[in-house]
Amino acid sequence: MIKKDIFIGAFVGLLANTIGLILVATLLGKGDDFVTVIQAAAKEGFLGKLISLGAVLNLIAFFIFIKKRKDYRARGVLLITIFIAVFTFVFKLF
């Protein structure tokens, strides 16, 4: 049961981050489509910043799970957020 809740939380965190990335790319893309914005961000070196901004929606999911006392699901969201932070740090280095 615990592993299932952590997996559900991780899935929700990954989904929230993906939706957040799409929203940020759409809002900051100035009318360009998603793929064009991502390609331009990778070329100009700020793709990691877009991914980090997309992770802001994980805060909402995390606090919803905490409020509903779904601690293991909140732990899954937190694990994905930490993974994304490490990924963007490594991505920034290379």
Model confidence pLDDT, tens digit, residues 47-67:
888 888 988 999 999 999 999
What residues contact 35, with CB distance under 8 A and at least 6 apart? none
How far CA 91 is from CA of 22, 25, 27, 71, 87, in Å, comes to: 19, 18, 23, 30, 6
Instruction: Work out how many domains the chain is built from and give that number.
Output: 1
- Cα torsion at 6, 12, 15, 16 (round to 10°)? -120
Q: Kindly state the DSSP code that residue 68 receives in the 8-state scheme.
A: T
- Tell whether pTM > 0.85: yes
pLDDT of residue 29: 84
Residue 86, Cα to own-chain centre: how many angstroms? 12
Domain extent for 69: 2-93
**∠ CA(89), CA(91), CA(92), 5° rounding?**
65
